[in-house]
Every structure is written in structure tokens, then in C-alpha cells.
Structure 1
């Protein structure tokens, strides 16, 4: 494979990007005895635009990976979701389930990503920082990927490569994998403020953003969040979906400030209390880039558009896709990469993804089209929020928290809808 090509290093598999998806994949693969090379374009610790809040679905993935999620280990726990919309805030605890723990988490991404990367290294992966991958190395005869090149001219070789390089995923684009315009896309902006609300048992979601007194001013596009960080600050941000008429036409930083200017002054969400600049990021949703496996390349996390259209959550699905990809890669490795049997194992990865999330993401695509209409959102908040049973169902649906086998009636309805919906 490597004849005539000088390589900086060779491995069984290269993982490009050491975010939650890449580090999770690298850890699982290294545990299974593969020689793993994890390439990260920046250096840890580094900041990422994120809400920093994790639902029980993400908590489960951390537990599966072997991460200590206790408060003693530095994690801030939360009980559920506080929803603002309509006349008053509404608190819902996370459901008590067999398949998921009953708590969510908060941790800054700079610390979170560093922790996961170190976990992968401790498992046996070799990580190189400041290693910016710009293009694939291809077999001229078959078009199959056989490695990657970096901006500084280095070459790394492996028979299998995992693209965990985020929404822009230069590697996938270079392999001819473009985004699907018919899938949901979001934009989120966030910053931090010093605030007395820093200690909060609930993640907070705002379904209505007003630029003045609620109900007596203009309703702004998008949804907001306030997550207490437990360190004297709150992570505050908002997101807009491409189903909104304001998408791509709005000054999102100004929109954030207009909303926050009308929150109570004692909360502290004012310019003088902001600790870092407002930053934004894209949210690729609903499998907006496929196929998730082709010619030796597997897409995980944001590279494959894994963000949940219902709630904008990405980390849980980044880690889930990483685990599924690692299963397929390890199977292919031990069957013998390049054999028909190994290829069948690799093609099982997108099938497993589709079986687990395809129908659910299709429902999410329908959902975001509905809520892109402000009138629909207003009716939902006015007539839906006061009904606790309906909101418990909605929380399970939006957060994708159901028991697969022994759930209640709500679980069975949600699981049934996901099964009969065509795959995204």
C-alpha cells in the first residue's frame, strides 16, 4: 500500500478530529487492539461553540465510555429542563428510564474535549495536535482513501479513515460528499456572563424570545437557552433553524442582546458582565451529508450531520455514531481490510445508523418545518405548555429519551413513529 509514498506515520486507522466524536471513536478502537492515529488541527485545551449542557442521552454515552460522571469528578448535574414559553416557566424532570440515567450534565467544552482526548490516549491511541488535515491520499486506481495530508505537507497512511472534522469536514468534501440542502440546518451563537444564576438544577430552554415585554412586543425568531455553569457564570445562547424566514438574514449577536436586554437585570445578562466574545457555529442536522461510509472513509458526528433536529443536541449523537463506527471498523480489521467480508462489515455502519436514528431524524425534519412558522410555535406554547402530560411526552420526543423494550405508552408511541417513518 505504501510503496513509493513517504509517510510520517502509518496506522490501522486514522481519526481526523479530536472532538467528542473523534476521541470516542479512537478510544473504542484502541481498546480493541487497533493502532489508532488521532489527528487534531489545534491544541488542547481549546474552545468550541456549544451550550455545554448534556442530556441523559449524552450522559449514557459517557458512562459507556468509562468516564466518571460524578460531581466529585467535576461534573455539574441537572435534574431536567425548565421551559419558558406562554405565561410562566414550566419544569420537567428527566424521565426515569431503564435505558438512560436520570440526570444530565454541564461541563465547559474546553475541559470536556480535553478530558475525552486524554481518555483516548490513555486507551492507547496516539494523538498529534496542531495537525491540520487538508486532503485525502487516494489510490489512483480505485479512488479508495489510503491516508491523509496536512497543511504543513505531512502524510499519514492507513487503510481506513474516520472523518470527525466537524461541519465543514474538508476531508469529506474532498471525497465528493456534499451537504444535502433538503435537510435541516441551524446556526447557534453563545457567550458567557457572570451571573447569580450560575447554580441551577435545570437546563433552561426559551421557546419564545421577545424584544420587549412578553406578549406585548415583537416575537424574535429562534429559541434560547440559559445553562448555569456552577463556576460563577452562565452559558447563554440562541439558535435559529433554516426553516425560519430570518435564517441567514439576521444579525445573530444583535438578536441575542435584544432578547437578553429584556431579562431581569439582577440575572446579570448585560454587556458589562459578558466574559468572552459572542461566537457562532453551524448545526448540521438530520444526516445532511451521506453516505456515511464510502471507499474506506467513515463519517461521524457533525461531519455526517448527526445533530438532532428536535433539540439541537450534537454530542450524544457524535459519541453514538463513533461507537457504531468503531464496531464496524474493528470487525473489518479482524476480517481483513480489503476483503469482501470486511467491506460488508463497513457497510453495516450506515445501516446501523439508519436503524437507530433514521426514522427519528425524519420526524425531526418534519418538526422543524412546522416550528419554522412563528404562529405554530405560538400556538404550541400557549396551549401545549400548561398540559403536563403532553409536555412529558414532548420532552421524551425532543430529547429522544425512551426505553426500547419495556417503556410506557409514551415510549411505545414515539418508538413506533420512529420505526414507521422513512429513514432520513
Structure 2
């Protein structure tokens, strides 16, 4: 993959000029660049690293993310390197697990996927360049270029400049670009933390289920102390598994907890046949923040659109961010293409761009607000213990809960659960 090529957007002096600048080539940025390029816009996609590069992630994708890949035209077959899964296996309050198959719906496929983020992000970046976007690797954006209050481009750390009528911030939780525009995070919104590592494990690598552990023990299960958070084991099908743990707080208050140590403590007490031992570990333990529930606003203003983690689009229900990043990317591309058709710089174009933020709020605002209430309840140990002990054994209740947590229900039709969840999301005030 080349950093720059002869077909790149027009240069004017030392500046690259394009219709749109996309900062960050993760799932949000590369997906946005793909949809924008397919709509005929000149796109400069800026990435601070060089592919392939890794990101901290569980590597597990629910059917909601699977749908976005299918929409993009990605071959998600196992022959193409994807590991399919049929649902979620959950451990909690008893030795035997509970199994929750992905629901059969009109709106979403009935299978999930796993694939390492290093490979996943590289694939999406190639998809963007194949669509006609122009990728600039090793390009760290240091600040926005302003004309009055409006962003008209960005400056890279090495001095290069890129100019466009519209810019997308897809640069993650810390979002240097959003901060440069004076957009701070709302610390009263939920914030999660995730840590993960990889193990070689022939015993677990071909598992057909994504696996979660709601109770993590620092010794023998049931006879030791509970650790904060939840754990996961996601099979990758290539001889390895992604093993991690996460926690969520109803606010972004500092949590002085060493999550790497907690992960190691839990892993030491997993069954020996799983092979989660130091000699089987691949690489170290990585960590990442999970910004939730629109914790940075506005999603559009002064020529800048926030997409994915930069706008706090991680679900507070399950810590999933990739499907929302990809969905928001397509919404952003729709708004930008509409703005171009109306004439960049006109009041009509500005209204089209403002429609991006309105659409996000209409799509997820109520659902995220319900998620904030959910987080405020489960972060209380006594509530979580009651839910685990008395909720999990009730199949109908848990089917309803899993549809809610995974955001997998038909909004236009469906069964009574789908209709109830749709009604609840629509009645809740927007986050």
C-alpha cells in the first residue's frame, strides 16, 4: 500500500487539496473513506502509523458489525480468513454456562465474526484505496487549520498540510483533532476500559461461540475473591485466541486499578487444558479506553464531523464500538455527499451536514440513554450479583436482555421483544 501516488488529490504548493479529509484509518475512517470515494468525492485518508498495525480490541464482531461488512461488499466467508460464531456463551453464578444463539432477524445476519484487528484494519484500508481514496501513512495530524472558527484543513507533525471543505475526525478516543477544535469529552458519560492479550490454544481456537465470564475469580471459582469487571475468550480459528477483560463506570472518573494485573490473576486460574500460560502468550497485554454514549459533542460543527470513538460512539451496554463506527461512517458519507450536491459553503450544504448529528441522535440517542441507566445499575456489585444469580437462569428474560445488550432487534417489525425494545429506545430522551 503506497503512502502517496500520482493519482492523489491535487497539490497546491505544499498543500494537498481534496474534497474531504479523513483523519484516522481505523474502522470509522476507512469505512467513511470507502463510502465517500464510491460517491465520487476526492478523499485524503490520513493514518499516523503504517499498515499493518495493531489496535487493542476483543477482535469479536456481533451480527451488527457483520452486517456493515456485508454492506461494504467484503467477503466474510471462512475461506476468506474470517472465523464465524453462532452466539454468546456466558458463565456466571453456576458452573454450567448459558448459551445465547444470535437471534434470527430480518435486519441482521445470524452469525458473528472474529478477526485480529491488525488484519481487519488493513483490509478496510485496502478497501478504501481500492474505491479511490488516497491513503497517507506515517501522517500524524498535529492541529486543525482554521479560517475564522471553521476548519479548512489539517497540519501534519512533519509540516505537510491538507486542505478540504469538510474534515472527518476518526482519530479515536483522544482525538487530537477534536481537542484542537476545542471539543472536550463529557466526563459524566460512561467510560469503559479493556485489556487483552493473545494465547496459542488449540483447545479453544476453533470454538463456535464467543465466550464471556461475568464472574472473575482470583483463585478457585466460588471459593476465592471476585475481581471487578467481566472477561472474554474469543476464538480466532488460526491456533490462537483473544483473551481479555473489561469494566465500565457510569462516569469517566479515574479508576486506579491495574487491569493488566487483574487479567493475569484471572487467567492464571483458568483450566490448564486451555493453555493460557506465559509460554503460550503472544505479545504483551494491551489496554484501551472505551468512550461511550456520545461523550463528545457536537457530532458536527464548523466543518468537522466526529465519527466513531472520537464522538464517544461505543455502546454502554456491551462495550462494542466497531459497528457504530462503521454505521456512523456511512451516515457521515451520506451527509457530505448531500452537502456537495447542494454546494459546499452554502446554507443548504450546512443544513445537510447538521443532519448528520440529528440522524445519530435519532438512531442511537434513546438506546444510549438506556445504556447509561443500565451501567449505573450494574456497576453496583449487589445489583450485578442479583442479575447474575436470578436473571441468567430465566431463558425468556435473558433472550430479551441479550437482544438489548447486543442491539439486535428489528425496529420496523419483529416479535414482542423487538417491539418493546424499539418503543423503549424511542421513548427515552436522547443521550
**Is the TM value for this pair above 0.5?**
yes
Distance, in Å, in 1 between the alignment partners of 2:158 and 2:253 is 40
Distance, in Å, in 2 between the alignment partners of 1:246 and 1:165 is 22
Query: Could you tell me which of 125, 139, 143 is aligned with 1:117?
Result: 125
| 2:24 and 2:170 in contact (8 A); partners too | yes
Q: In the alignment, what sits opposite 1:99?
A: 107
Distance, in Å, in 1 between the alignment partners of 2:216 and 2:253 is 13
| 2:198 and 2:283 in contact (8 A); partners too | yes
CA 1:202–1:239 in 2, change beyond 3 Å: closer, same or farther? same
Residues 159-308 of structure 1 aligned to structure 2 (within 5 Å): 159-195=165-201, 196-243=203-250, 248-308=255-315
* 3-state secondary structure, aligned to 2:294: coil
Question: Aligned-residue CA RMSD in angstroms?
Answer: 1.3
| 2:190 and 2:252 in contact (8 A); partners too | no
1:217 deviation in Å? 1.6
* 3-state secondary structure, aligned to 2:196: strand
Structure 2 stretches lacking a partner, 5+ long? 1-11
Q: 1:55 aligned to 2:32?
A: no
Query: Could you tell me which of 98, 112, 137 is aligned with 2:145?
Result: 137
1:246 deviation in Å? 10
1:244 deviation in Å? 9.2
- Cα deviation code 1:253-302 (max 9, x no counterpart): 11001111111111111222111100101000000000000000000000
Distance, in Å, in 1 between the alignment partners of 2:423 and 2:181 is 36
* 3-state secondary structure, aligned to 1:95: coil
Q: In the alignment, what sits opposite 1:354?
A: 361
1:213 deviation in Å? 2.2
- Out of 67-76 and 100-109, give the one that drifted further: 67-76
* 3-state secondary structure, aligned to 1:149: strand
Q: In the alignment, what sits opposite 1:45?
A: 52
| 2:228 and 2:247 in contact (8 A); partners too | yes
1:215 deviation in Å? 2.3
Query: Could you tell me which of 133, 153, 160 is aligned with 1:154?
Result: 160
Distance, in Å, in 2 between the alignment partners of 1:244 and 1:224 is 21
1:11 deviation in Å? 0.2
Distance, in Å, in 1 between the alignment partners of 2:156 and 2:306 is 19
Distance, in Å, in 2 between the alignment partners of 1:25 and 1:245 is 28
1:396 deviation in Å? 0.3
Q: 1:90 aligned to 2:98?
A: yes
| 2:250 and 2:372 in contact (8 A); partners too | no
- Cα deviation code 1:130-184 (max 9, x no counterpart): 01111000003xx100000000011110010000000010000010100001100
1:216 deviation in Å? 2.1
| 1:6 and 1:155 in contact (8 A); partners too | no
Query: Could you tell me which of 329, 344, 347 is aligned with 1:340?
Result: 347
Q: How many residues are paired up? A: 418
| 1:241 and 1:247 in contact (8 A); partners too | no
Distance, in Å, in 2 between the alignment partners of 1:134 and 1:247 is 26
- Cα deviation code 1:96-148 (max 9, x no counterpart): 000000000000101100000000100110111001111000003xx100000
Distance, in Å, in 2 between the alignment partners of 1:45 and 1:139 is 35
| 1:244 and 1:372 in contact (8 A); partners too | no
1:9 deviation in Å? 0.8
Distance, in Å, in 1 between the alignment partners of 2:238 and 2:390 is 36
Distance, in Å, in 1 between the alignment partners of 2:252 and 2:164 is 45
* 3-state secondary structure, aligned to 1:131: coil
* 3-state secondary structure, aligned to 2:309: helix
TM-score normalised according to structure 2 size: 0.95
| 1:180 and 1:289 in contact (8 A); partners too | yes
1:240 deviation in Å? 1.5
1:243 deviation in Å? 4.0
| 2:192 and 2:249 in contact (8 A); partners too | yes
Q: In the alignment, what sits opposite 2:8?
A: none
CA 1:372–1:22 in 2, change beyond 3 Å: closer, same or farther? same
TM-score normalised according to structure 1 size: 0.97
* 3-state secondary structure, aligned to 2:193: strand
* 3-state secondary structure, aligned to 1:309: coil
1:245 deviation in Å? 12
| 2:187 and 2:251 in contact (8 A); partners too | no
